[in-house]
């Protein structure tokens, strides 16, 4: 069999960078990148040229930014006309139902509904929270270099409740597996690394670092909802403020496929923390996720 031809939208973002690295590491795909494209510049005048581009590819993957989810709607229309064999919309978040829990999830649902109505073959991939933003600060400031936004040391909601988290670098490796698997066509796939609670992450980091992490406060569900509304109001005042958008997403995450590939060698959360403690971690850009 020949190698599938894949085109990726959003390759310069954090998630997109992981995806392109995973596809290239796999070596089983012809990979191209679609640049300078948004729904506003897919017009009647150039729609056919976009269709012509997509006709050359088997798989379209979108890793577009968090502030541009609806830009995928016209791209889906073009993919339908082009006869794309598989469209992977920009999922890549934690699992949550649509309907007022997370704004970004609701925007993604609009994209999914458009995809289903168009009868375009699809695979929706969610991955949970990233390891790289799933640990607290240390009193010494030792890991601050790798933390994108210096959050206060607080516990949120049920701090003992485990949630699915994933190493950012594993996302692309998962994608490479998933998009060649016939079992995942027209399916949703949840691929993650480990189940870890807020308390568990703090205890592990404390053990590895030899430092004692003391949380300053516990934020209950009522306060989290109030924080969410405050962040939304700030974002409404300045919709282009990526920090405000990030804070809305963070507030909503607080409230809130591994069985397919048992041989997948996931990066462990502990090894990620050890890497960060050695000074070998990396800081993500919250404005370019």
Q: Exactly one of 5, 80, 108, 188 is catalytic; name it.
A: 108
Which burial class, exposed, middle or buried, applies to 105 when counting CB atoms under 10 A from its CB (0-12, 13-18, 19+)? Answer: buried
* Spatial CA neighbour of 171 closest among 123, 133, 105, 127: 127
Residue with tokens 């690394």: 193
Strand order of the β-sheet with 4-9 is 29-34, 4-9, 59-62, 86-88
Instruction: Look up residue 96 and give its two tokens.
Output: 């949550």
Question: Is 188 noted as a catalytic residue in this protein?
Answer: no
Round to whole Å and give the CA distance between 271 and 248: 29
Q: Within 13 Å of residue 213, how many CA atoms lie on the same side as its CB?
A: 25
- CB-based contact 92:171 (threshold 8 Å): yes
Cα distances (angstroms) measured from residue 6 to each of 19, 76, 89, 90, 179: 11, 15, 13, 15, 10
Beta strands in the chain (DSSP E): 4-9, 29-34, 59-62, 86-88, 123-126, 129-130, 154-156, 163-166, 187-190, 194-196, 217-219
Q: Which residues contact 10 (CB under 8 A, 6 or more apart)?
A: 16, 62, 63, 64, 65, 90
Positions marked active-site: 108
């Amino acid at each position: 069999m020949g190698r599938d031809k894949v085109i990726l939208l959003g390759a310069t973002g954090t998630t997109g960078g992981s995806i392109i690295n995973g596809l290239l590491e796999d070596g089983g795909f012809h990979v191209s990148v679609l640049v300078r494209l948004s729904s506003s510049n897919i017009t009647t005048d150039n729609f056919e040229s976009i269709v012509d581009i997509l006709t050359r590819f088997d798989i379209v993957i979108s890793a577009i930014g968090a502030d541009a989810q609806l830009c995928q709607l016209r791209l889906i229309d073009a993919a339908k006309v082009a006869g794309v064999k598989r469209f992977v919309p920009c999922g890549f978040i934690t699992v949550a139902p649509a309907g007022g829990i997370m704004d970004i999830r609701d925007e993604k649902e609009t994209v999914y509904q458009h995809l289903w109505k168009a009868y375009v073959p699809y695979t929706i991939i969610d991955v949970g929270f990233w390891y790289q933003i799933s640990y607290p600060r240390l009193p010494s400031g030792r890991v601050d270099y790798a933390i994108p936004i210096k959050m206060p040391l607080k516990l949120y909601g049920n701090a003992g409740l485990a949630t699915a988290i994933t190493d950012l670098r594993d996302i692309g490796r998962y994608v490479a597996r998933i998009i060649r698997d016939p079992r995942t066509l027209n399916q949703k796939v949840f691929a993650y690394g480990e189940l870890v609670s807020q308390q568990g992450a703090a205890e592990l980091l404390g053990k590895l670092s030899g430092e004692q992490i003391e949380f300053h406060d516990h934020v209950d569900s009522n306060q989290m909802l109030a924080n969410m509304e405050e962040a939304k109001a700030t974002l409404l005042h300045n919709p282009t403020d990526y920090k405000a958008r990030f804070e809305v997403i963070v507030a909503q995450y607080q409230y809130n496929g591994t069985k397919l590939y048992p041989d997948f060698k996931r990066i462990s959360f502990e090894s990620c923390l050890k890497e960060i403690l050695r000074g070998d971690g990396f800081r993500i850009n919250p404005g370019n996720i």
